[in-house]
Structure 1
Amino acid sequence: MTKVLVLYHSTYGHIETMAEAIAEGARSVDGVTVDIKRVPELVPEALAKSSGYKMDQAAPIAVVADLENYAAVIIGAGTRYGTASSQMRNFWDQTGGVWMEGTLVGKVGSAFTSTATQHGGQETTLIGLIQTLMHHGMLIAGLPYAWAGQSRIDEITGGSPYGATTITGGDGSRMPSENELEGARWQGRYVAETAKKLVG
């Protein structure tokens, strides 16, 4: 079996929802198993609760040692001032040993994100995450224009050739649209198919 990890950080549930769609797409590929895990939260629990963080996320907490078990790792985090959330950055900052051992070299890496606005740093966040994966020697799979949904102009929508995205709105009230979720499913399936070919 080809194993895929969807690894995410989600503050208000937008990235969690996208992660589930990514996993759904990956699971649609025969011979692929998928785990969803999240990185540890760094914000103190009392502050997280008072700030309205989504506290009831079902995904278990990942540890760095988990990474070696997968043929592909798809990472998702919200954007903070044009880069990935510190929670996701903190997790990858602990992977020096993995890098030294070359554990992820030749495996498939991919990324997805969210922002409050259409021009809030989606692509810079994705490229930053992709750079980290490339330093680990991973082969990058994005969201090609073969998925036509990112070319739509009849509605506001996320989507980038670098990875699936969603737009949350300034107050966080907008959850991923069906088009954005379809992009996430497409990306998950594409990553799983690519990893399966490499493992096969």
Structure 2
Amino acid sequence: MKTFSKLFFFLAIFSCVSLKAQSERNILITYHSESGKTQAMAEAVAKGVAEVKGADFVLKPIAEVSEHEILQASAIILGSPVYNANMTPEVQAFINSWPFEGRPLKNKIGAVFVTGGGFSIGEEATMFAMIRSMMIHGMIIVGGEELEAAFGASAITGEGEFAEKEVQEIFLKKAEGLGKRVGEMVLKFY
């Protein structure tokens, strides 16, 4: 019986250590998308995270994210379409649902990405609003790999040469770079 108890104890400890190690490098990539374009950016972000050995991620729409997943994540990468130079009401409601008591998101890494229909339609304003919300929670903000993605990743999806059915590669690469950079930062901090 003592051997069984010791074995159970060591298995329990090992499981806790393994779960802790997994959660310490877990990146939550979440988004709201109606046309599929923000989802395409989210998938590109995930592709970038996947390039970083040792970084794990969960990719899902905000409607499917639990509070437990928010709390377990080392980093949250949040995506939204641009609506009237703002994040969508769904993304704002998601942020408003984050637990605040005791600041459990403090020192988690935060990053953002957006899709907007045209030039100067509010991509950066939307990114800053999302970033400010993360900062209120005490999160550490990380931008993309490139100078042109300093605040995160954005895509123009409905004007001029960018008015195509698919998100163009130049924007998907910025999203990949954002994911890769967040993955690298998670490994450095956790």
Flag whether TM exceeds 0.5 (same fold). yes
Residues 44-82 of structure 1 show CA distances to partners (whole Å, capped at 9, x for unaligned) of xxxxxxxxxxxxxxxxx1123320111100000001101
1:188 and 2:189 are equivalent in the alignment: no
Amino acid across the alignment from 2:97:
Q
- Look up the match of 1:197: 188
Question: Tell me, what secondary structure is at the counterpart of 1:25?
Answer: helix
The total of aligned residue pairs comes to 165
In the TM superposition, residue 182 of structure 1 has moved relative to its aligned partner by 0.7
C-alpha distance in structure 2 between counterparts of 1:67 and 1:101, whole Å: 14
1:14 and 2:5 are equivalent in the alignment: no
- Look up the match of 1:134: 135
Q: Assess, with a 3 A threshold, how the Cα gap between structure 1 residues 172 and 179 changes in structure 2: closer, same or farther.
A: closer
In the TM superposition, residue 166 of structure 1 has moved relative to its aligned partner by 0.7
C-alpha distance in structure 2 between counterparts of 1:108 and 1:143, whole Å: 13
Structure 2 residue runs of 5 or longer lacking an equivalent are 1-21
Taking the TM superposition and a 5 Å limit, the aligned residue runs for 1:72-151 are: 72-95=75-98, 98-144=99-145, 147=146, 150=148
Q: Assess, with a 3 A threshold, how the Cα gap between structure 1 residues 91 and 172 changes in structure 2: closer, same or farther.
A: farther
- Contact kept in structure 2, 1:12 and 1:172, CA below 8 Å: no
The structure richer in helix per residue is: 2
- Contact kept in structure 1, 2:77 and 2:110, CA below 8 Å: yes
Sequence identity (%): 27
Residues 124-171 of structure 1 show CA distances to partners (whole Å, capped at 9, x for unaligned) of 000000000001100000125xx26x3xxxxxxxxx421101111159
Structure 1 residue runs of 5 or longer lacking an equivalent are 41-60, 151-159
Amino acid across the alignment from 1:112:
F
C-alpha distance in structure 2 between counterparts of 1:3 and 1:162, whole Å: 21
Q: Assess, with a 3 A threshold, how the Cα gap between structure 1 residues 172 and 69 changes in structure 2: closer, same or farther.
A: farther
- Look up the match of 1:35: 58
RMSD, aligned α-carbons:
1.6
Q: Assess, with a 3 A threshold, how the Cα gap between structure 1 residues 13 and 34 changes in structure 2: closer, same or farther.
A: same
1:162 and 2:151 are equivalent in the alignment: yes
In the TM superposition, residue 173 of structure 1 has moved relative to its aligned partner by 4.0
C-alpha distance in structure 2 between counterparts of 1:119 and 1:191, whole Å: 26
- Contact kept in structure 2, 1:32 and 1:192, CA below 8 Å: yes
Question: Tell me, what secondary structure is at the counterpart of 1:83?
Answer: coil
- Look up the match of 2:166: 175
Question: Tell me, what secondary structure is at the counterpart of 2:127?
Answer: helix
- Contact kept in structure 2, 1:64 and 1:91, CA below 8 Å: no
Rg: which structure is higher?
2
1:66 and 2:55 are equivalent in the alignment: no
C-alpha distance in structure 1 between counterparts of 2:101 and 2:158, whole Å: 40
Residues 180-199 of structure 1 show CA distances to partners (whole Å, capped at 9, x for unaligned) of 11111111000111111111
- Look up the match of 1:51: none
